[in-house]
Amino acid sequence: MARSRLKPLFVLAAVTAVLLPLAASAAAEGGSCTNGTPVAGATLKVDGAAQDPSSGTYIVTVCRWPAGQTQVYSYSVAKRSDPNGTDLGQAAVGKSFAVDFSMAAGDQPVSAEVYGDVSAYAVSGQAVTITAKTVTMTQINGPPNAGTSCALPATAVGVCATSVAKLSGGIRYTAASGTPRPGDALIGMFVGASANGYQVSLQGCPGIDYSNPGAAAAQVDGGDTRPGDTKPGDTGSGDSPTGSKPPEASSPVLAVEMNGPHFQQDGTTLNTGSLEAFMPNALLATCVGGDAEVAKAGLTVTRTEDGATTPVTGSAFTATAEADGLRISVPRVGFSAPTYRMAFKPSSKPSKPSVKWSSKKSSKSVTAAVTSVTGLSYTISAKSGKLTKKGSCKANKKTKKTDCAIKLAKGSWAVSVTPKKSGVSGTARSKAFRF
C-alpha cells in the first residue's frame, strides 16, 4: 500500500547534548531494515517460549540508525507467513513479546518509545530487554480517497486500515560517556501508545529539556512503512503537527500529544487508543526530588483538545508506584488530537537515596555505592550512642555512582547516607553494622 502525505509525529527529542532527536520511522519491517543497518543476534520470546529464528511463528527485526537527527535502535515484530505485513492478526492478541538484543560497544540505551502495551523495559550495560503486548491501531495509510470518512483534523481524507495486533518501537541511545549526566536518569523510561502518531515532551526537570525545538520534526509513526518511504531527517508534511517547542514549564510536566482518526475503518465506530508512561525513580528524583510514591502524591493529569482543558480523574487513568518507578496508564483515549499532560509537584526535600552497602570487619569500614541524582550531593555519617563519625563521598566516573566510605571503631553503628539539594537535607538511607 502506498504511503500518504500524512505523517503523524512520534517524537521524544532532547535539546541538550545528552540525546539526539528521534528520526526513525517504523524502520524495522518485513525482516529487513528500511532505514539503518540490521542488528544481529536479536532474539524473540512469545509468552516465554523462544522463537526459532529460522522457523518460529513470529520474527523480530532490529535496526541501528546512527545518522540524521537521531540515535535509535528500531524494532518490529511480524508474522513469518506475512513478513511484509504489520498486522500480527487475532492469534497474537494478548500474547507477550519479549525482545532481547545488544547495542554496539559505546552505545548506551536510554528511553524507549513503543507502539505497544509495554510491561517491562530493562537495561544492563549494552543489553536491552523490552516486553510488550500488541495493540489495536486504526491508521491513515493511503493516498486521499473521498469515499472514506476516517480522517484526522485538517488533513486530506485518507484510506483507513485497522491493525488487530501490532507491535513496533524504538530504543533511543547515546554514545556520550564520562561523569553522571542528566540524561542518565532517562535510562529505563518508556512511553507506549496505541495511536496513529504521538509526540512527547518532558520539561521542568533540572538539566533535562525533552522537546522538539524546531520545525524539523523527526518521526516514528504508526503508519504503514515500505522501503524508501522515510529517510533520516525527513520532516514530514504540513498535514501533521508542526513539532514546535511547547511553552516552558516551571514544574515537571510530561506531555504526550496524540493523534488518530476519529472513526475506525467503517467510518462510524469511534476510534480509541491507549497511553502508558513509565518514569524510573532516578528520573523522578531528578525531576520531582522524590521517588515514585512522592511523585504519585503530587501528580495531576489533564487532557486538552480543541483548546479546552479538562482534568483526567477517577478510573480514566491509574498511577502505580512500583519498586523501580511510577507507571501512569490511560486505558481509553478518544481521538482526534488530544494532549495529555502529567504534571508533578516538586518535593521540597530529596527522598531516600538508592544505596548498595558493603563492609569489612578487618578494617571496621563501611562503603556505600549511591545511585547519583543530578542536582544532589551526599554525605555519610555514623552514630553509636553519643559517638558520631563522618566519612567522605566522591563521584565515580566509571560507575556513574557516588562512592561513600567511613571508618568506624568496635561496637554497634547506625550508618546513614543523606542526600542534599541546595543545602536542604533529605531523607537518609540507614543500615546497622556491628564490629
Q: In the prediction, which pLDDT does 417 show?
A: 97
- In this structure, the number of other CB atoms found within 10 A of the CB of residue 430 comes to 16
Q: In the prediction, which pLDDT does 16 show?
A: 23
Domain positions in the chain are 28-344, 355-434
Model pTM score: 0.76
Q: In the prediction, which pLDDT does 180 show?
A: 60
Query: Is 2.60.40.10 the CATH classification of the domain at 355-434?
Result: yes
Q: In the prediction, which pLDDT does 67 show?
A: 63
Give yes or no for a contact between 235 and 210, defined as CB atoms under 8 angstroms apart.
Answer: no
Place of cell 547516607: 417
Q: In the prediction, which pLDDT does 79 show?
A: 95
Instruction: Please report which helix (H) or strand (E) contains residue 295, including its range.
Output: helix 292-297
Q: In the prediction, which pLDDT does 159 show?
A: 66
Q: In the prediction, which pLDDT does 148 show?
A: 55
Q: In the prediction, which pLDDT does 6 show?
A: 31
Pairing of strands 158-166, 72-79: unpaired
C-alpha cell at 270: 469511534
Hey, which bits of 148-188 come out as E strands?
158-166, 168-174
Give yes or no for a contact between 344 and 299, defined as CB atoms under 8 angstroms apart.
Answer: yes
204 by DSSP, 3-state: which? Answer: strand
Q: In the prediction, which pLDDT does 291 show?
A: 86
Give pLDDT tens digits along the chain (435 positions).
232 223 334 333 222 222 223 333 345 555 678 778 999 999 999 999 999 988 999 999 999 988 644 589 999 999 999 887 889 999 999 999 999 999 998 888 989 999 999 999 999 989 999 999 999 988 876 554 445 566 655 444 456 788 899 999 999 888 765 556 677 888 999 999 999 888 888 999 988 867 643 222 223 334 333 222 222 222 222 222 233 444 555 789 999 999 888 888 777 888 999 999 999 988 998 899 888 998 999 999 999 999 999 999 988 999 999 989 999 999 999 998 999 999 999 887 888 888 999 999 999 999 999 988 877 899 999 999 999 999 999 999 888 899 999 999 999 999 999 999 878 898 899 999 999
C-alpha cell at 131: 516486553
Which of 319, 328, 315, 317 shows the shortest CA–CA distance to 278?
Answer: 328
Report how far residue 415's alpha carbon sits from residue 425's, in angstroms, rounded to the nearest whole number. Answer: 16
Which of 433, 329, 345, 417 shows the shortest CA–CA distance to 381?
Answer: 417
Q: In the prediction, which pLDDT does 328 show?
A: 98
